[in-house]
A and B are shown apart, each in its own frame.
Chain A
Amino acid sequence: MINFFKKNKTEENNEDSWLYSDNVKEHFFNPQNCLTNEEEYDADGYGVVGSATCGDMMAVWIKVNEETNAIYECKWRTFGCPSAIASTSMMSVMVSENEGMQLSRAKRLTPEAIIERLVGLPDRKYHCSVLGHLALREAIKNYETLYASAK
């Protein structure tokens, strides 16, 4: 049997590598901040990208501290592959850890930053990390639109 989760450090980040890092495995098997019931979740901003009928789909919910302009909670749910799950789980941790990430900084949370924290992601899975990043952008846009209209 092929070991899909075997780590090979020399092949991390390699174009031809299809092996997952320990961090990817950890976030896939134990995803953080996944939201299963949004009915009871009162988010400040919500974004969803993709389409379940023709590929991956990603939804992100954020709560924002109005005084600090920082995201203090980031939840997500996906119809996606292990890489999408792991990279969005990591993204949600990065956004909400410490005192929370400033919105201005969260807008520049690039796939490269997420992949660095995952200690690599096979290049052919790069697009999975883009999904979470775009859904987060949509959630921030949603929050800023709502906030601006409420002012």
Chain B
Amino acid sequence: MHQPSKRIFKIVGKKDELANVVTLLLAPTDGISPVFIPGQYINVFIPENNTPEGKSYSISNIPGSDVITITVKSIGEFSKFLCAMNVGDTLEASDPYGYFYSEQNNTSLVFLAAGIGITPIMSMIKDLLKENNTRKISLHYSNAKVNSILFKDELNELEEQNQNLKVTHCITQEKNITAEYKAGRIVPEDIQNEQNTEYLICGSISFVRDMWDGLRKNGIKEECIYTEAFFSH
């Protein structure tokens, strides 16, 4: 049976990203560095919350560190509990798991993200760019407002430093935005259907469904599309 094994992690750092989003740095107490593929997630178990099945959180950092980070939006009872945890606290979590990552190594990549759905994509983008990346990467990132863009400064920096990365910020609920942002939702039908390209979508269930529908209407084959939908905890 496939069931990722569980380990105890200690929170060794906590960073406020936005008013309702924090990044937790988790170090395994057994001292064995976590091995994962960017795009994977861990299941977090908090017995006090009566959720024996745990809740899934995508990993937001890249491999090669002694810690893994999860970036959590406080939107449900479970995530509020997690966001309120402090450095020094411990929690139980599974080993990394999941299949939300490109299995090719020479395709161009188009990422479509909404809100907190940027977390696994951030891990993938940073990992791709850490070495001499030649793959063309586009990120279409949708947020309600400019000040709700997660990892905004880091994304700007990555784009400035990497010619192969193009980031488009779509702002859905704010008027009078500057030219660096695009007003409105991501329109998947406008995304070019290019040869040798893979498309990875992450966000809410409705966002993922709409983007997947739109890409397919644009003639993009299902086997070129990867999806990961988040639901509130």
Mark A residues whose CB is within 8 Å of B.
13, 15, 47-51, 53-56, 104-105, 107-113, 115-116, 123-124, 126-127, 130, 134, 137-138
Contacts and interface: CB of A to CB of B under 8 A. Distances in A.
A47 B150 CA distance: 36
B205 interface: yes
Interface of B: 1-3, 52-54, 99, 103, 205-206, 208-209, 212-213, 222-227, 229, 231
Contacts of B2: 47-49, 138
B206 A123 contact: yes
Given A111-B227, A113-B212, A124-B231, 6 more contacts: A15-B205, A51-B1, A109-B222, A112-B208, A123-B206, A130-B229
A111 to B, nearest CB: 7
6 contacts: A15-B205, A49-B2, A53-B52, A107-B99, A108-B223, A126-B229
A110 B206 contact: no
B53 A110 contact: no
A108 B205 contact: no
A55 B52 contact: yes
B174 to A, nearest CB: 22
Given A47-B2, A138-B2, A108 B231 contact: no
A104 B53 CA distance: 30
A110 B103 contact: no
A141 to B, nearest CB: 9
B209 A115 contact: yes
